[in-house]
């Protein structure tokens, strides 16, 4: 492996050359004190001044929701969860079905399954572990989340490394090794940078810096508290970092979704197997999603109920992380006493609210087609 470029000595001239990390951390915390984002899960400056610590439950809940998810998207979900389940004990006592339905639309549904299991584990032991190793053992809590909760909620000097931090650090030290190969080195540098005082604020400052200044495209280096020591900026290569290994192309998959509606408006939904894609989530029954279109036998075998199925004009299209999907939608009106082979009937609006987005699209297309048919008939 070639040696990593390091910050040039001249860039360090204005800081303590013996322990530059301490000066850099101080500069970042000073910036954070002036520019921190106000977020619902953060403790405000006034409360902090009064000695208040963040609520570990809120910190943990926000960190789980924020995994691979934007602040703007998380906001309303976080508010609804806190309103409905104000404590980890309340969340632990909730039916899992309710938690999954409340999570619908946020994606990565293993997070919701693990969230509920984690709440039960934490409640059973009287609260969250206060150290990184203990947190790491909880379901859905990986290296990042354990470090983040330990630092933010419990003031532990843990190395918090998320996508923002990877970007900031690979630029600061001009690390040209592509991710994820560079992760171990990034972690070492973050651990070296993390101060004993205010490690939680330091972690959040790093993420704020990455989110608002050291952005993926067109970073605002002129406003950055680390503009002087940043090696990538000095070399004019900030925007090209971090380097990443190329991703595989997305295959396209096909399937059929079945939307059956009773005279009272209820629609047929089926809870998917707990493992795998959309695990544990409820939506209209489907064929398997395959590379080739499902043949007539596969469609007939997957139909959840005997009915006169009609094809809707539109198809549901959706992009997942690693494949794209087209769902043909078949609709049917069934009798009030219909007995499906699989699944059960729930009010249409409830079904929409609890469905993951891909299946909600199919449901909406089916419901619209059924409305059109009834309008004609």
Partner DNA sequence: AACTCGTGGTG
Partner DNA sequence: TCACCAAGAGT
How far is C-alpha 269 from the chain's CA centre? 25
Binder of DNA out of 7, 56, 157, 210 (CB under 7 A): 210
How far is C-alpha 190 from the chain's CA centre? 22
Is residue 38 a contact point for DNA (CB under 7 A)?
A: no
* CA–CA distances in Å: residue 265 to residues 92, 346, 374: 33, 9, 12
Q: What are the structure tokens assigned to 197, written together?
A: 């005082």
Is residue 42 a contact point for DNA (CB under 7 A)?
A: yes
Is residue 191 a contact point for DNA (CB under 7 A)?
A: no
- Concatenated DSSP letters of 293-341: PP-HHHHHHH-SS-S--EEEEEEEEEE-SS-EEEEEEEEEE--TT---S
Per-residue x/- mask for DNA, residues 113 to 152, rule CB under 7 A?
-x------------------------xxxxxxxx-x----
Distance CA(64)–CA(254), nearest Å, equals 31
Residue 283's DSSP bridge partners are 270
Tell me which stretch binds DNA (CB under 7 A): 205-213, 297-305, 308-316, 342-350.
205-213
Distance CA(146)–CA(135), nearest Å, equals 5
Distance CA(263)–CA(333), nearest Å, equals 7
Distance CA(370)–CA(376), nearest Å, equals 10
Least Å distance, CB 216 to DNA, is 4
Residues present in the chain in total: 377
Q: Which residues are catalytic?
A: 63
Binder of DNA out of 150, 231, 278, 365 (CB under 7 A): 278
Is residue 285 a contact point for DNA (CB under 7 A)?
A: no
Is residue 156 a contact point for DNA (CB under 7 A)?
A: no
Is residue 164 a contact point for DNA (CB under 7 A)?
A: yes
Nearer Cβ to DNA (28/307):
28
Binder of DNA out of 69, 87, 177, 271 (CB under 7 A): 69
Least Å distance, CB 251 to DNA, is 9
Touching DNA, residues 298-357 (CB under 7 A):
318-322, 356-357
Contacts with DNA by CB under 7 A lie at 37, 39, 41-42, 62-63, 66-73, 105-110, 114, 139-146, 148, 162-164, 167, 204, 207-208, 210-211, 216-217, 244, 246-248, 276-279, 318-322, 356-358
């Amino acid at each position: 492996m070639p040696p990593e470029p390091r910050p040039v000595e001249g860039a360090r001239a204005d800081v303590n050359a013996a322990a530059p990390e301490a000066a850099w951390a101080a500069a970042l915390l000073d910036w954070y004190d002036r520019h921190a984002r106000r977020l619902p899960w953060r403790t405000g400056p006034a409360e902090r001044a009064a000695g208040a610590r963040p609520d570990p439950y809120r910190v943990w809940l926000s960190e789980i929701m924020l995994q691979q998810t934007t602040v703007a998207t998380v906001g309303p979900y976080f508010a609804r969860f806190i309103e409905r389940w104000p404590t980890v004990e309340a969340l632990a006592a909730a039916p899992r079905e309710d938690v999954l339905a409340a999570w619908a639309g946020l994606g990565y549904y293993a997070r919701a399954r693990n969230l509920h299991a984690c709440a039960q584990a934490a409640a059973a032991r009287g609260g969250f572990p206060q150290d990184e190793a203990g947190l790491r053992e909880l379901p859905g809590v990986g290296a990042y989340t354990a470090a983040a909760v330990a630092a933010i909620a419990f003031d532990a000097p843990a190395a918090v490394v998320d996508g923002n931090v990877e970007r900031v650090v690979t630029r600061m030290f001009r690390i040209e090794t592509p991710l994820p190969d560079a992760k171990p080195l990034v972690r070492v540098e973050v651990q070296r940078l993390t101060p004993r005082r205010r490690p939680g604020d330091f972690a959040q400052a790093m993420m704020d810096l990455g989110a608002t200044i050291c952005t993926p495209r067109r970073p605002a280096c002129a406003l950055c508290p680390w503009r002087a020591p940043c090696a990538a900026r000095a070399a004019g290569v900030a925007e090209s970092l971090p380097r990443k290994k190329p991703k595989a192309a997305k295959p396209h998959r096909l399937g059929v979704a079945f939307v059956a509606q009773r005279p009272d408006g209820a629609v047929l939904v089926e809870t998917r197997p707990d493992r795998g894609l959309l695990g544990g989530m409820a939506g209209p029954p489907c064929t398997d999603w395959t590379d080739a279109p499902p043949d007539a036998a596969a469609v007939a075998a997957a139909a959840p109920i005997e009915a006169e199925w009609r094809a809707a004009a539109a198809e549901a299209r959706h992009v997942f992380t690693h494949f794209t999907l087209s769902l043909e939608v078949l609709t049917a009106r069934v009798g009030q006493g219909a007995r499906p082979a699989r699944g059960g009937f729930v009010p249409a609006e409830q079904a929409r609210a609890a469905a993951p987005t891909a299946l909600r699209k199919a449901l909406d297309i089916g419901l619209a087609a059924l409305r059109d048919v009834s309008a004609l008939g």
